[in-house]
Amino acid sequence: MTPIGTPTTARPTRTTEPAPGGFNAERIREDFPVLKLKVNGKPLVYLDNAATAQKPRVVLDALRKFYETECANVHRGLHWMSEEATRDYEESREKVRQFLGAADVKEVIFVRGTTEAINLVAHSFGRPRVRAGDEILITAMEHHSNIVPWQILCEQSGAQLRVAPINDDGELLLDEFEKLLSPRTRLVAVSHVSNALGTVNPVAQIIEMAHRRKVPVLVDGAQAAPHLPVNVRELDCDFYAFSGHKLFGPTGIGVLYGKAQWLEEMPPYQAGGDMIRSVTFEKTTYNSLPYKFEAGTPHIAGVIGLGAAVDYLSRVGLARAAAYERELLEYATERLRRIPDARIIGTAREKAGVLSFVLEGIHPHDVGTILDQEGIAVRAGHHCAMPVMDRFQVPATARASFAFYNTPQEVDALIAGIEKVKEIFS
Amino acid sequence: MSEVRELYQELIIEHSKKPRNFGKLDGADHEATGFNPLCGDKVTVYVKLDGNVVREIRWEGSGCAISSASASLMTERSKSKSLTETDALFQIFHKLVTGGELEEAETAQLGKLAVFSGVKEFPVRVKCATLAWHTLRAALEGTKTVTTD
């Protein structure tokens, strides 16, 4: 067996077809060192981008530069390195502000990831406001991280969790959603793009419906931010959460965007250094935004790496990348449809990045193991969305998820791998 | 033979498609359900003992080919065996799928179970192969549910 990680320059052998929309994925691939790996003797075909995305060299360089030349704490030191680190840290915040189209950098809070962002809102926005008899409204396609924090909040407050249903294609039933918006609804929490189904939710419409009833909306953007241009002011969402590692940035860093009016009202989530202005044993005054929500030494390298990822994405052009990914997903969908016994889970009209499927009579884990032997990385399992699996009456699915560095040749490799799975089980 | 063919030997595929002793066992005196929370595999094992001997054994559940075939072959193999023999067999089977050194006498005892030898090259799939066995042990020990964690 060739050891995992053997570098190779080998490329899929088929000649490159004209890239859709003039987008040159082959050139993009050069920016990602890991894509040259061989796995199990085969060129890596990385189709697990919804779990985490690979990192371009510029992100790796930014991490290295921080640790090699300016490793210091931020917002504290008077010395040169601390000033450099603080400047780069805060520049990243400005980059993220632009990336999201937020009005002010004080609305950009650095957190560990989407999960922590949602927990922060449940804790600091939810707990002080939500009372017994109130309702939190989510949808049937949420990731566990956009279900469990609300369940806990409901348990603690005596509120009810309401769940808007989806249809057999995995699309939110907007009429049903609207009916569930009641005078008791305190918050709507909805994914922008479903990680298990790939459905793109009509979040602008959802937000408008909720706002007409003065209900604030949190958008879980973990799967959307890397694949669609997002503008929080145009959406008018109250909160938007995403993870750096799915956006080609480092793990352990993410962002909560919140409207300043809410963030100002909310009590801190965690307490400690950096989030205070003054402390005596009698009374503590909190720091201003965004620092009120960034207790302790933050993930400085992660923030700087995320800034580099955001820069990279703006150079690539997210709109162009999204158009390319859409064509790639359409191509993969069309090819998978032609395989007898393959059933696609998630057939919404508006989809991004995700192709979830099952093969009749073959468990997704067996599909995953056999594809892995072909160097093809997919996810097999419940995708942290067990209610979605229940809804479609499958124990699990295999999921191929795409990024703009994936190619039609890799889709061909996936299809060939699926044919091999079927052959082994024939 | 490639590693993946080594893992998915014909007998495994065949048992996964047509599992033996599948379905509830009425009047079972021992039963337990095993879960693999990582992948959602679920196996319930039913046993009727006659003194110290497994008189009847059946199973039901859902999971991947490895876990289904393992449950199927386990029920075939442990029928009419004493509790001591069943336990010894599990220990040998465990050694086989985790890549331990087997003595000749142990290999001889495996019989058809030797078909799981390919699992040792796939560490993440060891739990699939051993789920049914852990569940059988739990049933015999009187534990109702067991997980592979």
Read off the CATH number of the domain in which A93 is found. 3.40.640.10
Model confidence over A351-380: pLDDT tens digits?
A: 999 999 999 999 999 999 999 999 999 999
Task: Estimate to the nearest angstrom the gap between the alpha carbon of A406 and the chain centroid.
Answer: 18
Assembly ipTM: 0.91
Cβ contact A354:A195 at 8 Å: yes
Residues above pLDDT 70, as percent of chain B: 98
Chain B neighbors of A371, CB-CB under 8 A: none
Query: Which of A360, A365, A418 to mutate against chain B (most B CBs within 10 Å)?
Result: A365
Tell me: do A368 and A406 sit in the same domain.
yes
Tell me: do A256 and A331 sit in the same domain.
no
Residue A44 lies in a domain: no
Tell me: do A309 and A420 sit in the same domain.
no
Q: A413-422, B41-50, B81-90, B136-145 — which is least confidently predicted?
A: B136-145
Rounded Cα–Cα distance for residues B70 and B8 (Å)? 12
Q: Which of B2, B4, B39 sits opposite A365 (nearest CB)?
A: B39
pLDDT, residue A199, reads 98
Tell me: do A361 and A321 sit in the same domain.
yes
Residues belonging to chain B = 149
Range of the structural domain that residue A384 is part of = 20-30+317-425
Does B5 reach chain A within 8 Å, measured CB to CB?
A: yes
Residue B11 phi, psi dihedral angles, 5° rounding: -65, -35
How many domains does chain A fold into? 2
Pick among 1.20.1440.230, 3.40.50.300, 3.30.70.370, 3.90.1010.10: CATH of B3-147: 3.90.1010.10
Q: How does pLDDT run along chain A (426 residues), one tens digit per residue?
A: 344 434 444 444 444 444 445 799 999 999 999 999 999 899 999 999 999 999 999 999 999 999 999 999 998 878 999 999 999 999 999 999 999 999 999 999 999 999 999 999 999 999 999 999 999 999 999 999 999 999 999 999 999 999 999 999 999 999 999 999 999 999 999 999 999 999 999 999 999 999 999 999 999 999 999 999 999 999 999 999 999 999 999 999 999 999 999 999 999 999 998 898 999 999 999 999 999 999 999 999 999 999 999 999 999 999 999 999 999 999 999 999 999 999 999 999 999 999 999 999 999 999 999 999 999 999 998 889 999 999 999 989 999 999 999 999 999 999 999 999 999 999
Q: What share of chain B is helix, strand, coil (3-state, %, to 5)?
A: 55, 20, 25
* B106's tokens: 């142990």
Q: Average of pLDDT values for B22-49?
A: 92
For B48-59, b/e burial (b = at least 16 CB within 10 A) is bbeeeebebbbb
Rounded Cα–Cα distance for residues A223 and A351 (Å)? 11
Rounded Cα–Cα distance for residues B44 and B60 (Å)? 5
Tell me: do A418 and A344 sit in the same domain.
yes
pLDDT, residue A8, reads 42
Rounded Cα–Cα distance for residues A45 and A180 (Å)? 43
DSSP secondary-structure letter at A360? T
* A239's tokens: 């909160």
Closest by CA position to A57, among listed A77, A81, A33, A36: A33
Tell me: do A176 and A112 sit in the same domain.
yes
Residue A36 lies in a domain: no
Q: Give the residue from A259, A286, A315 where a domain finishes.
A: A315
User: Hey, what amino acid is at A292?
Assistant: K
With a CB cutoff of 8 Å and minimum separation 6, the contacts of B45 are B31, B32, B33, B34, B57, B58, B59, B71, B75, B132, B135, B136, B139
Residue A38 lies in a domain: no
Tell me: do A294 and A380 sit in the same domain.
no
Closest by CA position to B85, among listed B61, B99, B106: B106
Cβ contact B81:B54 at 8 Å: yes
Residue A50 lies in a domain: no
Tell me: do A188 and A302 sit in the same domain.
yes
A–B: how many Cβ contacts below 8 A? Answer: 48
Rounded Cα–Cα distance for residues B74 and B68 (Å)? 10
pLDDT, residue A4, reads 41
Cβ contact A228:A241 at 8 Å: no
| Average pLDDT over chain B, rounded to an integer | 93
Cβ contact A100:A93 at 8 Å: no
More confident residue, A357 or B41: A357
Tell me: do A147 and A296 sit in the same domain.
yes
CB atoms within 10 A of CB B140: 17
Residues belonging to chain A = 426
Tell me: do A288 and A333 sit in the same domain.
no
Does A2 reach chain B within 8 Å, measured CB to CB?
A: no
Tell me: do A124 and A83 sit in the same domain.
yes
Tell me: do A73 and A205 sit in the same domain.
yes
The band of B149, judged by pLDDT with boundaries at 50, 70 and 90, is low
Read off the CATH number of the domain in which A412 is found. 3.90.1150.10
Tell me which residues of A are annotated as active site: 384
Q: Give the residue from A286, A315, A344 where a domain finishes.
A: A315
Model confidence over A264-292: pLDDT tens digits?
A: 999 999 999 889 899 999 999 999 999 99
Q: Which of B7, B13, B40 sits opposite A425 (nearest CB)?
A: B13
DSSP secondary-structure letter at A220? E
Rounded Cα–Cα distance for residues A366 and B124 (Å)? 11
Q: Give the residue from A285, A315, A345 where a domain finishes.
A: A315
CB atoms within 10 A of CB A236: 15
| Matching residue, tokens 């995403």 | A242
Q: What is the DSSP string of A367-394?
A: HHHHHHHTTEE-EEE-TT-HHHHHHTT-
Query: Which of A39, A366, A374 to mutate against chain B (most B CBs within 10 Å)?
Result: A366
The band of B1, judged by pLDDT with boundaries at 50, 70 and 90, is low
Q: Is the pTM of this model over 0.90?
A: yes
B64:A366 CB<8 A: yes
